[in-house]
């Protein structure tokens, strides 16, 4: 197991370098720089002042030197300072990341809680009316534009009925509330973003569980379990489902980049001060250090997710950690 663990860890290093190199090149080879963006707001800026700014930010040095410099600081968890307000990038990201992570973890949880039973139901009742209705609903969730669904729910529950808040994380009088009220308030703000995100991505999991279950239910060991006289639920949940769970770990790992990317849309629509929103704002001001920081962090989170999925898979399935030599 240790050997497998080490091998997987070593495997992520070249990927990490590849990721940072791609980001760095994409952003720095582009025409126009942060200094240009600043200069365009200030018509009095001279070429001299521009050059001074460029050397201050280190933008006048060869690109590989800039990359090496950036990597050197990255190893020490230093992403530099924002071009816009001079705050450390790490501080800005740390402020925003917990919000995004909390929302995404909540979404993942909801996807599992909804997707697995739906998938099992679809497989056990394959071909019935219930299964067909479910397939249609799941397909709809898969095809609906998230920003549109958010808008509709916002205007219905938020504006028309006034049941739910439509933006931000806290109400106006948040600071004066008791602890429980604060949690309740936060929860009410999160219902719509998490609900929409989960509805639109539940399709992947439930369809996967459904097709996996249908295959597993035809296996001889399921027939044996049935023949033994086990109850229906015991066969489905005790014998069949665990075998579907395994690949599910990988699917969850793979769904992370999609969720993170989606957070840009949700956080912009619902005015949630998370990483997606920070990224969106930084893109407009060409705040390279922040863009680089979030891109790198996003890719690293994905890598971490895949890594954890690999390890989880190996823990659950001895064939992987012992038998595989590739």
For the chain, what's the residue count? Answer: 326
| CB 66 to another protein: min, Å | 16
* DSSP class per residue in 56-116: HHTTTS-HHHHHHHHHHHHHTT---B-TTT--BHHHHHHHHHHHHHHHHHHHHHHHHHHHH
φ, ψ dihedrals at 263, nearest 5°? -65, -25
Nearer to another protein (CB atom), residue 198 or residue 259:
259
**Long-range pairs of 254-258 with CB within 8 A, sequence gap ≥ 24:** 254/305, 254/306, 254/309, 255/108, 255/111, 255/201, 255/204, 256/104, 256/301, 256/302, 256/305, 256/306, 257/298, 257/299, 257/302, 258/201
DSSP 256: H
34 lies in the binding site for another protein (CB under 8 A): no
Q: Among the candidate windows 2-10, 24-32, 85-93, 187-195, which touches another protein by CB under 8 A?
A: 24-32
Which member of 1, 6, 22, 109 binds another protein (CB under 8 A)? Answer: 22
**Long-range pairs of 224-230 with CB within 8 A, sequence gap ≥ 24:** none
Binding mask 121-160 for another protein (x = CB under 8 A): ------------------xx-xxxxxxxx-xx-xx---xx
260 lies in the binding site for another protein (CB under 8 A): yes
| CB 283 to another protein: min, Å | 4
252 lies in the binding site for another protein (CB under 8 A): no
Binding mask 287-316 for another protein (x = CB under 8 A): ----x--xx--xx--xx--x----------
Q: Among the candidate windows 39-47, 217-225, 229-237, 255-263, which touches another protein by CB under 8 A?
A: 255-263
Binding site for another protein (CB under 8 A): 14-15, 18-19, 22-23, 26-27, 30-32, 139-140, 142-149, 151-152, 154-155, 159-160, 256-258, 260-262, 264-265, 268-269, 279-280, 283-284, 286, 291, 294-295, 298-299, 302-303, 306
């Amino acid at each position: 197991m240790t050997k497998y663990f080490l091998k997987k860890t070593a495997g992520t290093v070249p990927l990490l370098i590849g990721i940072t190199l791609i980001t760095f090149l994409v952003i720095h080879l582009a025409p126009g720089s942060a200094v240009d963006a600043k200069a365009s707001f200030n018509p009095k800026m001279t070429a001299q002042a521009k050059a001074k700014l460029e050397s201050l930010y280190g933008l006048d040095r060869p690109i590989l030197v800039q990359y090496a410099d950036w990597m050197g600081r990255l190893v020490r968890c230093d992403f530099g300072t924002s071009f816009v307000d001079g705050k450390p990038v790490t501080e800005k990201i740390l402020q925003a990341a917990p919000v995004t992570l909390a929302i995404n973890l909540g979404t993942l949880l909801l996807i599992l809680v909804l997707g697995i039973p739906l998938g099992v139901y679809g497989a056990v009742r394959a071909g019935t009316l219930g299964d067909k209705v479910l397939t249609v609903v799941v397909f709809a969730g898969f095809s609906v534009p998230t920003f549109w669904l958010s808008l509709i729910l916002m205007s219905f529950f938020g504006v028309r009925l006034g049941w739910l808040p439509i933006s931000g994380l806290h109400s106006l009088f948040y600071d004066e509330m008791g602890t429980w009220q604060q949690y309740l308030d936060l929860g009410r703000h999160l219902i719509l973003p998490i609900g929409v995100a989960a509805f639109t991505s539940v399709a992947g999991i439930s369809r996967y569980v459904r097709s996996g279950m249908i295959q597993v239910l035809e296996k001889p060991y399921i027939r044996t379990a049935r023949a033994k006289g086990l109850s229906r639920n015991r066969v489905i949940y005790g014998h069949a489902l665990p075998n579907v769970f395994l690949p599910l770990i990988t699917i969850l790992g793979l769904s992370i980049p999609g969720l993170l990317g989606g957070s840009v849309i949700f956080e912009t629509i619902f005015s949630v001060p998370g990483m997606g929103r920070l990224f969106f704002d930084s893109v407009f001001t060409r705040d390279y250090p922040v863009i680089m920081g979030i891109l790198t962090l996003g890719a690293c989170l994905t890598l971490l997710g895949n890594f954890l999925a690999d390890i989880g898979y190996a823990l659950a399935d001895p064939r992987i950690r012992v038998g595989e030599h590739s």
